[in-house]
Amino acid sequence: MKSIKEVVKKKPWLGWVIFFATIVVVFLAGLLGSSIIERRTEANLILQNVKPLSEWEPRNEVWGENYPREYETYIKTLDTNFRSKYGGSGKIDMLEKYPELVILWAGYAFSRDYNQGRGHYYAVKDLRQTLRTDVPQPSTCYTCKSTDVPRVMNKFGIPEFYKYQFKEMGHEIANPIGCQDCHDPKTMNLRITRPALIEALERQGKDINKSTLQEMRSLVCAQCHVEYYFKGKEDKYLTFPWDNGMTVEAMETYYDSVGHVDFVHQLSKTPVLKAQHPDFEVFKLGVHSDRGISCADCHMPYKSEGGVKFTDHHIQSPLNNISNSCQVCHRESEAKLLQNVTERQDKIDELLKMAMASLVKAHFEAMTAWEKGASEEQMKPVLNLIRQAQWRWDFVAASHGAGFHAPLEAARILGNSIQKSEEARISLSALLTKLGVTVPIQYPDVSTKEKAQAYIGLEMEKLRENKKVFLETVVPQWEKSAEERHDKMKQDYNQGSGYKK
């Protein structure tokens, strides 16, 4: 075999080929080395703070100075343009869409106003604007709406915070949901800042400090996206009803054991349980949770920028980011995945409407029975069935992602809801006949939000005018107080000392 020297001597052009090939290889190797060094430098800079953050720093823009990538994606929660078939990032008037809700919540503030929520950035603004906060409410309502809450809890004490009236605490609450709610300001590790979740897990014998990072990527969401109630007539202590478990039946058993009633229905006198938003509980009953997926995996998927891998803080529906949220695991096309989700949601929506229609009739029939002289003894088993049926319907309706998170469980619960409300209606039919009433009864026309609200006696123009006065006179005072507090924080921050109290 001839040596390279002999080959080149015989074919000089081959020498030039080897020469230029060597130059190209060296150049590419240098480029690769430079890129690696640059990416490593970027990665090392990710946790280098511009200025230290105080323990309870509520301002998201201050965190953003240290973590610009996360902040820039977070403020995209301002975007309200995305619409899916059943949700999205914009406000949707749910009472307009489903007038039956007005009747189901007759006697409760939700019958005045109920919208699909916008992004986290709007949390405080939307809370101030809703007509639901015009009835006496405790400060507990603020718990999941603002990064100011941990600061204020630290200032006043947790039980004392809950006891304040909603409007008494308004000047303290200004910053929307954000960085401080889920992160330790020194290490950026995920942390729980709301005590209700820690307390609920402790009652189950669980230590949240032993949670894995993957578990924490759901538990930080479970601080708020859960079922809860305000315990105690005066204390209004935020409590998760998880002592018997997190299924719809287990939480119902808990509520029954403590005699909890959210409101007595205006028409049927049913002692109703109003579900809040049991998103985490329903998610835990689905296949994605069973496979170890976290909330953040789909709602805040990882993304890369240069050499830095970070979490996308544009918290949103995965349907607006299927490529990063779904196709990390699934190989089907975006169109196919969207079709799969929509098909499940369509079936759950069909059952939800059936459950609502049956419940609305049950409330009217119970009202008629009372009007015709039914006794407490005759009505007690009927009202208990309506309570159980409405709790099951609301559990699914209020857990906004049930049609995707756990469609089989959601269908089972709605099936039980329909069964129980129809059992109530069969009993009511017999009772009404006994009372001399011809069945079916004549149901009123509540086919629109306006007709339904008028039927239950809500004076909506007056309520809207009162809210307008509140927004124009009280809220500006709260905002002025917040600005003064922020100016003081800014002075401390510029001096490098952070906000102290």
Determine the average pLDDT of the residues in 147-171: 97
What's the CA gap between 254 and 441, in Å, rounded?
A: 35
Q: What is the tens place of the pLDDT at every residue in 64-78? A: 999 999 999 999 999
**Does residue 264 contact residue 379 with C-beta atoms inside 8 Å?**
no
Q: What is the pTM of this model?
A: 0.89
Is pLDDT larger for residue 308 or for residue 428? 428
Q: 440: cis peptide before it, omega within 30°?
A: yes
Residue 39 has pLDDT above 70, yes or no: no
Residues 6+ apart with CB under 8 A from 159: 235, 237
Average pLDDT of the chain to the nearest whole number: 93
pLDDT over 70, % of the chain: 95
Q: Which of 51-55, 103-107, 414-418 has the lowest mean pLDDT?
A: 51-55
Residue 295 has pLDDT above 70, yes or no: yes
Residue 168 has pLDDT above 70, yes or no: yes
**51 pLDDT band (50/70/90 cuts)?**
confident
Task: Give me the phi and psi of 238, to 5 degrees please.
Answer: -65, 120
Instruction: Quote the pLDDT of residue 358.
Output: 98
Structure tokens at 237: 């202590």
Residue 335 has pLDDT above 90, yes or no: yes
**46 pLDDT band (50/70/90 cuts)?**
low
Instruction: Quote the pLDDT of residue 499.
Output: 47
Q: What is the tens place of the pLDDT at every residue in 402-432? A: 999 999 999 999 999 999 999 999 999 999 9
What's the CA gap between 49 and 303, in Å, rounded?
A: 21
User: Residue length, the chain?
Assistant: 501
Q: Which of 41-55, 74-88, 150-164 has the lowest mean pLDDT?
A: 41-55
DSSP reduced 3-state for 271:
strand
239 vs 195, 229, 295, 338, 418, CA distance in Å?
Answer: 9, 6, 22, 36, 28
Determine the average pLDDT of the residues in 207-218: 97
Q: Name the burial class of residue 435, with classes exposed (0-12), middle (13-18) and buried (19+) by CB atoms within 10 angstroms of its CB.
A: middle
Backbone dihedral region of 236: left (phi > 0), alpha (psi from -120 to 50 degrees) or beta?
Answer: left
CA 258, 262, 266 angle in degrees (round to 5)? 130
Residue 494 has pLDDT above 80, yes or no: no
Residue 31 has pLDDT above 90, yes or no: no
Residue 498 has pLDDT above 60, yes or no: no
Q: What is the tens place of the pLDDT at every residue in 1-27? A: 677 777 777 777 777 888 888 888 888
Instruction: Quote the pLDDT of residue 496.
Output: 62
> Please, where are the H alpha helices in 164-247?
179-182, 195-203, 213-222
Torsion sign across C-alpha atoms 139, 143, 147, 152: positive
Determine the average pLDDT of the residues in 197-206: 97
* Strand-pair category, 263-264 with 237-239: unpaired
Instruction: Quote the pLDDT of residue 109.
Output: 97
Torsion sign across C-alpha atoms 313, 318, 323, 326: positive
pLDDT over 90, % of the chain: 85
Q: Which of 46-55, 257-266, 355-364 has the lowest mean pLDDT?
A: 46-55
Strands (E), 170-322: 229-231, 237-239, 263-264, 271-272, 302-305, 308-311
Instruction: Quote the pLDDT of residue 245.
Output: 97
Q: What is the tens place of the pLDDT at every residue in 231-289? A: 999 999 999 999 999 999 999 999 999 999 999 999 999 999 999 999 999 999 999 99
> Please, where are the H alpha helices in 259-375?
279-284, 287-290, 295-299, 322-325, 334-371
Q: What is the tens place of the pLDDT at every residue in 125-141? A: 999 999 999 999 999 99
**42 pLDDT band (50/70/90 cuts)?**
low
**Does residue 92 contact residue 110 with C-beta atoms inside 8 Å?**
no
DSSP reduced 3-state for 207:
coil
Residue found under tokens 């409330």: 363
